[in-house]
Amino acid sequence: MNGLSEDIPGYPRLAHHFARMPEAASFRSFLDLGNLGLLHKQAKLMDLERLLREQLNADGHSTEQGRMRYANDWRFLHHAATEEVKPGSEQAGSSFEERRRQSQLVEEMMVALKEYYELFLLTIKMTATCPPRKSDLNYHQWWLQQPSKGNCGLTGPDGEVWGSLDAPDTHAADLVCVKPRQDDDLFTEWVKSKFIFWFDKHIGQRLERLRGTCGEFGYREATLRNCADIFVMTLEALLLISSFAILYWIRSMTMRLILIAIFCVLFIICMTCVTKAKRSEIFSAVSAFAAVELVFIANNSSSKSSANVAMCQA
């Protein structure tokens, strides 16, 4: 069974676009309206709480034995509020409204409390959602204005929810995404949000097989992440190998120590940009890196000294 047709501009095409690329799907959370509803329901519950407390005191201090038993026997309260009172019974002197008042307040309180809890839990879930990334929002703004894509199909007030290319910051402040993207390191984020646009303009348009099947601007996130990982691993390997090679050929101890400091700074920059490591983990890693280079210098210096001594003896 086929889904919605993307040939119809407006809501059907936009819904198809969101289904094809859920990372770009974003909607308003209306948290201000949710909080307003919570405030009203809270005020209603507080008023019901006050009325129920007054009714409990009135029934508990009533001179009628039947109403005094409401706090001790729920069945008595239920039957007294729903069944006809027989003449000569303990509640014969009470009107029907007086007998059912406490039960009615409890029922109203339970209904209001259920609505309050449901809205409260939904609000908690909405506050835990993530806003869309700027790159996804920019792409969606571009898609909406393309004649062959969104074609500005939404002409009502909701057409301004995501902003536009001319005014990208005019989007709603409470947008939340349906499928948040995976958090990556700074370098991978830069590749996915900045470098990919340059790549598509100069290279990607000639390599259609790397694009999505829809023919639009879009690349598989897993492919981008794998390419970034390969580049990062290659860069780290070159940093390690080049540092040992340079230290091997430099004979001045002062220059070696200066180079070790430079390599440690570069190592810290790489660890910060291409990994999601914590500060303590970065400090441990750079300490181990510096220790390895110092051991390498010590062994290299002792080997050269031994070789010089052997040559002199010879």
Q: CB atoms < 10 A from the CB of 102, how many? A: 22
Q: Report the pLDDT value the prediction gives residue 5, as an integer from 0 to 100.
A: 61
Query: Residue type for 299, please?
Result: N
pTM: 0.63
Contacts of 172 (CB under 8 A, 6+ apart): 28, 161, 162
Give tens-digit pLDDT for 116-149.
999 999 999 999 888 888 878 887 888 888 776 6
pLDDT for 219 beyond 90: no
pLDDT band at residue 309 using 50, 70 and 90 as cut-offs? very low
With tokens 């430099």, the residue in question is 250
pLDDT band at residue 40 using 50, 70 and 90 as cut-offs? very high
Sign of CA pseudo-dihedral 42, 47, 52, 57: positive
Give tens-digit pLDDT for 50-82.
998 888 887 766 666 666 666 666 666 666 666
Q: In whole angstroms, what is the distance from residue 152 CA to residue 268 CA?
A: 47
